[in-house]
Amino acid sequence: MADERLIVALDFNNFEDAKNLVDTLGDDVIFYKVGMELFYSVGERIVEWLKSQNKKVFLDLKLNDIPNTVAGGLCSLMHLGADILNVHASGGFTMMKTAADRLHEEAEKSGIVCPKLIAITVLTSIDRDDWNGMGYDKIDMTQQVLHFAKLAQFAGLDGVVSSPQESKIIRDQCGENFLIVTPGIRPAGSDIDDQSRVSLPSYAIRDGANYLVVGRPIRAAENPKQAALDILKEIGEV
Ligand code: C5P
């Protein structure tokens, strides 16, 4: 049985490259992340194809707009069959609550399993300089991530995306049933690329993450399958 905790990011701009990676990884990986680059290039057929291969899909489109627009957008995406959808917590409580309520209503009305809805807290690429540059120098970033996590939970969302460095405090304060999805995962010795708040796969799991989103460390590896197997082995030993 494949370990669902590894979500591989299909950050490609065409269907063939995405399909090749999924084929290469085979039965060992069942969860994939489809983000803006792939979805905007290829559209809904990538989600339909992944579902036809019995894969799970995190459709990472990071919606952020007024409540009615986000809720309507999510309902449309739900009908594609994604297992996880997301919004930005910075869109505010009313946006998140409207989105969660409408998604649940629409799922019930349509007789489909409601996807998990999670919120982006603060992007894992944001470092101190970026943070201060946005005018938040008086605000502690970790406290803000935690604040967003609690706000998302209060609005009825299922979990958050956060950096692995904030998983522990979120797990402690939001409880066992709140999903924590962490990108910014870098196995020992790999490049951090444009990420900033990164961690090892085993540490992220140990600190409470339910899912790890891994892109370049697998996609750009000389042997992507081996890179995925190494991460699966590492988290299997936690
Ligand atoms: O290549 P890498 O492992 O850095 O990819 C991480 C993936 O997770 C990217 O697709 C990125 O869009 C996504 N992500 C992120 N930070 C977030 C949410 C999603 O890096 N807060």
Within the chain, residue ranges assigned H as helices are 15-25, 36-42, 45-52, 67-78, 93-110, 128-131, 141-154, 167-174, 201-206, 216-219, 224-236
b/e sequence 76-104, b meaning 16+ C-beta within 10 Å: ebbebbbbbbbbbbebbeebbbbbbebbe
Say whether pLDDT at 11 is over 90.
yes
Could you give the dihedral angle defined by the CA atoms of residues 15, 25, 77 and 144, in that order, rounded to the nearest 10 degrees?
Answer: -120
Whole-number Å distance, alpha carbon 67 to ligand 1 midpoint, is 24
- Residue closest via CA to ligand 1's atom 13 equals 183
Residue 108 CA to ligand 1 center (angstroms) comes to 31
Q: One-letter amino acid identity for 198? A: V
Ligand 1 environment, Cβ below 6 A: 9, 11, 33, 35, 60, 120, 123-124, 161, 183-184, 193, 195, 213-217
For residue 9, is it left (φ>0), alpha (ψ between -120 and 50) or beta? beta
- According to the model, what pLDDT value does residue 211 have? 98
Residue 1 has pLDDT above 90, yes or no: no
pTM of the model: 0.95
The overall average pLDDT reported for the chain is: 96
Which run of H or E residues covers position 134? none
Q: How confident is the model at residue 203 (pLDDT cuts 50, 70, 90)?
A: very high
Nearest CA to ligand 1 atom 10: 9
- Minimal-distance CA residue to ligand 1 atom 15: 183
Q: Is 62 a catalytic residue?
A: yes
- Residue 182, SS3? strand
Tokens representing residue 77 in the block: 């995406």
Share of the chain above pLDDT 70, in %: 100
Q: Residue 225: is its pLDDT beyond 80?
A: yes
User: CA 93 from chain center: how many Å?
Assistant: 20
Distance CA 169, CA 178 (A): 12
Percent of the chain beyond pLDDT 90?
92
From 38, 40, 60, 131, give the residue whose CB has the most ligand 1 atoms within 8 Å, as the site to mutate: 60
Q: Do 190 and 161 meet the contact criterion of CB atoms below 8 Å apart?
A: no
pLDDT of residue 93: 98
